[in-house]
Chains A and B, each alone.
Chain A
Amino acid sequence: MRLLLVEDDVELGRRLSERLRAADFAVELATSRSVAEDWPDVDQLGAIILDLGLPDGDGLDLVRHWRGVRVETPIVILTARGSWQDKVEGLNAGADDFVVKPVRFEELLARLNAQFRRQHGSRSPAIAAGDLRLDPLARTVELAGQGLALSRQEFRLLHLFMRRAGQVLSQADIMDDLYELDRERELNTVEVLVGRLRRKIGRGRITTLRGMGYRFER
């Protein structure tokens, strides 16, 4: 899943990006309001983590702007402003959660996953499809009750498929979710990855639709 992290502090931005990538997210980093505001595909992102105190403007205005143009991507505000006045303003501007710095990474991850669950109407962090069960918090996958060893990219791909089960995902959709925009992309990477995943979870679970993409069967 691809996230947009809007953080002006270079060191904190670098560290959070590292952590999020280690947790199998693709992370885009914007260090100013103007860069974030012009981000090309905010509505395709899994979530936005937004600092409020940006050098060229207030992050709250960004929230209002995005909500004003019908961007429904979950927004988690991560800020040094800790008063309830700021929290109420942020949430009422359209943010989905409000986290005050410093935060333990596990808590930030849990709050992000809560947003993903809320987005998909599920109260449990785990996603299930038949006898396949994926827990994004524990980062485990079970097939018929047995643990399944997946690489980081395989896990991220399966997570994407299971979140959007029944939908057709093009190779570009998958690339967008798995990789940052500025990374080099080779389309056959997706084919290779899907092939490896099929071998581990069963061929019938992922259908190839020629010229369109892939569909994870419910």
Chain B
Amino acid sequence: MMMRPPLPGSLRLRFLLAITLWVVLGVGAIWFSAVGIFRTHVERSYHEELEVHVRELGRLTALAPDGRIVLTRPLSDPRYEEPLSGFYWQVTADGRAPLKSGSMTRGSLDEHIAHSPEILHTLDNGPTGPAITYGFTRTGPRGEDIHFVIATDQRELDRLVNSFTRDLTLWLVGLGALLLATGLAIIGFGLHPLDRLSRAIGRLRQGEAVELEGRYPVEIAPLAADLNAYIRQNSDMIARARVQAGNLAHSLRTPLAIITDEAERLAERPDSAAAGQVLLDQAGAMEQQIEYQLARARSSAGQPASGRTTRLPDVALPILKAMERLHPGKHFRLAVGGCSGTALPVDPVDYAELLSILLDNAGKWASAEVVLAFTCAADGAITATISDDGPGIPAPELARVFDLGVRLDPAVPGSGLGLAIARDLAATLGLRLDLTNRAQGLMAEVRFTP
């Protein structure tokens, strides 16, 4: 399984750093301890061996009848006979020719190191460099001191320790790499539920799921459960807000319809025409405010929420069917482009409301045809264009058509609020809404940029 490189600030990076530090410290401590123990052990063995050898040298040394110092037989370790092998011995006595090991083809050992019947040792210069030297003295037949000295090059000890250290280092590096690999595998295994959670959130964002799916370990299960509860609560709240907005509309609009009717009656009578007209104007203003503020309330309820996406082009199909009924004689055409099945991450109710307003507006002005076209770009941008073959909007009017209550032709039914509501809806949904004149007709463009 290929592992993704950990991102800065991620749990994966934190675990990786902690494990790396732990492995480096652990392996380093093992290295230092093992090298130290090994050196101590080797040194102790060397010293014991040299002590044995110097005792053996003492035992094997004898004085010949002619007074020469001789060995009754060679030392048991043959390295004392190989030239410059690093293993040397020497026996000296006043007035007698010194006896040296076959290995010491040059130089000599310092006899003064052996100055006591007790075996003493020190680090001294030998024929081939620093040497660990052991020695003791014995009294000869003439009362003279016989000096027994034996030495081994320090480099022999260093070579052994270095060889061990090299092998140990290689082994520990291998162990460290293995531990790190195991650590990475443990991180991957341990964090797998979080990866699943991340993918579940991705599906939620894409609208492929309405809540976090899957079972999670007990440590994060409450988080997933709380998130699902929050999503449900949010959806319920939006639904309730919409119902309440609808109820408010109903409770206000029916009395307002009666007031409007009474105002119309007053306006029709010569003696109360002026009062009736004032009432009609004010009732109209109230109606505009109710419609506008309720539309705002509905769209505010649909603020971006997890899992709320709009599936293209499904959202448009019932609207286009309704528009064909609402604007008989006008043809409403859909061009899906490459957007079939695309999930637009905006609230579907609000997006449908926005498309409905723009399609109804286009239907009112179109001569024969309205085209709704979706375009999906490679960078994730999704554009809906609504084009009609009507007269378009005179350039000076284009800037103010989004203002509240602006009606370009009072003969065309409408409240003059549609485009103002569309503008607010687009802003709430994070969409860009533009109107442009075409060669013939108007084009509204609703653009989503990721």
Give the residue name and chain of the B residue nearest to A81 (CB).
B246
A98 to B326 CA separation, bound complex (whole angstroms): 8
Which one, B8-16, B92-100, B150-158, B255-263, is touching chain A? B255-263
Question: Number of A residues contacting the other chain (C-beta, 8 Å)?
Answer: 34
Cβ-based interface call for A188 (8 A): no
* Contact digits for B366-404, partner A, Cβ 8 Å, 1 yes 0 no: 000000000000000000000000000000000000000
Are A85 and B283 CB-contacts (below 8 A) given A12-B254, A101-B253? no
Assess whether A82 is in contact with B253, with CB atoms less than 8 Å apart.
Answer: yes
Beta-carbon nearest neighbor of B421 in chain A: A84
Contact status B256-A91, CB under 8 Å:
no
| Cross-chain contact of A102 among B287, B329, B357, B360 (Cβ < 8 A) | B287
Quick one: given A88-B356, A91-B322, A105-B261, are A81 and B249 in contact (CB under 8 Å)?
yes
With beta carbons under 8 angstroms apart, the residue of A12, A82, A95 that contacts B257 is A12
Which residue in A88, A111, A123 is a CB contact (below 8 Å) of B319? A88
Contact of A143 with B by CB under 8 A: no
**What distance in Å separates the Cβ of B397 from its nearest Cβ neighbour in chain A?**
23
Residue B194 at the A interface, CB < 8 A?
A: no
Given contacts A15-B261, A102-B287, A103-B257, contact A96 B325 (CB under 8 A): yes
In the complex, chain A residues whose CB is within 8 Å of the CB of B258: 9, 11-12, 15
Q: Point out the residues of chain A lying under 8 angstroms from B256, CB to CB.
A: 101-102
B: number of interface residues (CB 8 Å)? 38
Closest to B248 in A: A80
Please measure, in the bound complex, the distance between the C-alpha atom of A97 and the C-alpha atom of B321, giving whole angstroms: 13
Q: Is there contact, CB below 8 Å, between B322 and A88?
A: yes
CB distance from A71 to the nearest CB of B (A): 16
Find chain B residues with CB under 8 A from A97 CB. Answer: 326
- Return the chain B residue nearest A93 by Cβ: B322
A103 to B251, CA, bound (A): 15
A19 within 8 A of B: yes
Q: For residue B264, which residue of chain A has the nearest CB?
A: A105
Smallest CB separation, B289 vs chain A (Å): 13
Report chain A residues within 8 Å CB of B249. Answer: 80-82
Q: Does B141 contact A (CB under 8 A)?
A: no
Q: Which residues of A contact B325 (CB under 8 A)?
A: 91-92, 95-96
Q: Write out the residue numbers on chain A whose beta carbons fall within 8 Å of the beta carbon of B295.
A: 82-83
Q: How far is the CB of A50 from chain B (nearest CB, A)?
A: 14
Contact in complex: A81, B257 (CB < 8 Å) = no
Instruction: Let me know if A80 and B356 touch, CB within 8 A.
Output: no
B250-286 Cβ-contact flags toward A at 8 Å (1 or 0): 1111101111111010000000000000001001000
CB pair B322 A102 closer than 8 Å: no
List, in ascending order, chain B residues with CB within 8 A of A95's CB: 325
Say if the beta carbon of A125 comes within 8 Å of chain B: no
Closest A residue to B246 by beta carbon equals A81
In chain B, what residue has the closest Cβ to A107?
B413
Say whether B353 contacts A102, CB under 8 Å.
Answer: no
A-binding residues in B (CB < 8 A) = 242, 246, 249-254, 256-262, 264, 280, 283, 287, 291, 294-295, 298, 318-319, 321-322, 325-326, 328-329, 349, 352-353, 356-357, 360, 413
Q: What are 7 inter-chain pairs, A to B, with CB distance below 8 A?
A: A53-B250, A80-B253, A81-B246, A83-B295, A83-B353, A85-B349, A86-B246
